[in-house]
Amino acid sequence: MIQDQFKRPLRDLRISVTDRCNFRCTYCMPAEIFGEGYKFLPRDEILSFEEIERLTRIIVRAGAVKLRLTGGEPLVRQDIETLVAMLAEIDGVEDLAMTTNAYFLPQKAQALKDAGLQRVTISLDSLDEDVFQRMNGRRSSVQKVLDGIAAAEQAGFDPIKINTVVQRGVNDHTVVDLARFCKDHGYIVRFIEYMDVGTMNGWRMDDVVPADELVARIDAELPLEPIGKNYRGEVARRYRFRNGGGEIGLITSVTRPFCGACTRLRLSPEGQIFTCLFAGQGTDLRAPLRSGASDEELEQILRGTWHARNDRYSEERSELTEPRTEKVQMYHIGG
């Protein structure tokens, strides 16, 4: 088991299988930047399924037990269920999950389940049609996502988790409705404090709705009580509805950072590993991989990178005199 400079073990691997997405969410891939002519990574620069599987096997051997497939949007990568089946075969993997915008789930949910995917987390920022469309660059209706959720339920994914990024003055006035909807349907919604991921979303602290304020708003209509974490290092702060069961979660990277227990490594589509969501630089594994490095040599690079890790950006954010200008983009490594 390898540890970093703060004795944090490597437990979670987020695998970004593509830098492409069919949505244009304003806080991740704003349409005015990622227009028709935007050049995404050419096919041959993206890791093949075999390369992803080999690197994942090495990273699991070094301690990772939880895998999450992300993107961009993972379901725009063709035959993604084939990769799921390959990763599900790896000894030591305890949890295999995916974060998706659900748009293609009606076509893919059953195949993913059959291939061995254990959990899905679905991004849905609002039930209000106009608000949702403004946030995703008018690329999808709410109903399209609800159809995807229904397909995931049909395929047997349970519980369904929902991720919602909350921005003040954009969708914060619709969070109580979403909480009620998820409570009524048995979904677990995670409200995510709007973060300064990447360098293209024009983030301002004024646009952040602190988790405590969100809890107070929801509690006023749907009484809540705090409950403990499911496991050490779990990111979400959890609350149970007092009446009728069900729970919500808050991801508080801005107001209550959780870097101290962060055990996450990220693999980008072109084979770089990043030790933090807000990292400026990654470590390239593709070049040695494609120039014949052995598993042991690749593992040495991985171990050296993790051992040297001292990231705690969210804890440092408020102390920074100048905003960090070099940060990997969110669509490139998945949230």
Question: Which stretch, 117-125, 144-152, 212-220, 251-259, contacts ligand SF4 (CB under 6 A)?
Answer: 251-259
3-state SS, residue 85: helix
197 near ligand SF4, judged by CB under 6 A = no
Q: CA dist 249 to 32, 52, 286, 309, 318, Å?
A: 32, 31, 36, 28, 23
> Which CB, 193 or 311, lies closer to ligand SF4?
311
324 near ligand SF4, judged by CB under 6 A = no
Binds ligand SF4 (CB under 6 A): choice among 57, 77, 113, 264: 264
> Which CB, 65 or 235, lies closer to ligand SF4?
235
Question: Which stretch, 132-140, 242-250, 271-279, 299-307, contacts ligand SF4 (CB under 6 A)?
Answer: 271-279
The DSSP string of 148-190 is: HHHHHHHHT--S-EEEEEEBTTTTGGGHHHHHHHHHHHT-EEE
Binds ligand SF4 (CB under 6 A): choice among 132, 239, 313, 331: 313
Residue 325 to residue 143: CA distance in whole angstroms:
37
Q: For 201-206, which contacts have Cβ atoms below 8 Å and span 24 or more sequence positions? A: 201/26, 201/27, 201/28, 201/30, 201/330, 203/27, 205/254, 206/168
Question: Which stretch, 73-81, 162-170, 273-281, 300-308, contacts ligand SF4 (CB under 6 A)?
Answer: 273-281
192 near ligand SF4, judged by CB under 6 A = no
> Which CB, 145 or 277, lies closer to ligand SF4?
277
DSSP character for 241? E
CB of 242 to ligand SF4, least distance (A): 30
Binds ligand SF4 (CB under 6 A): choice among 311, 328, 332, 335: 311
Q: CA dist 278 to 15, 65, 195, Å?
A: 16, 22, 10
Question: Which stretch, 151-159, 183-191, 223-231, 257-265, contacts ligand SF4 (CB under 6 A)?
Answer: 257-265
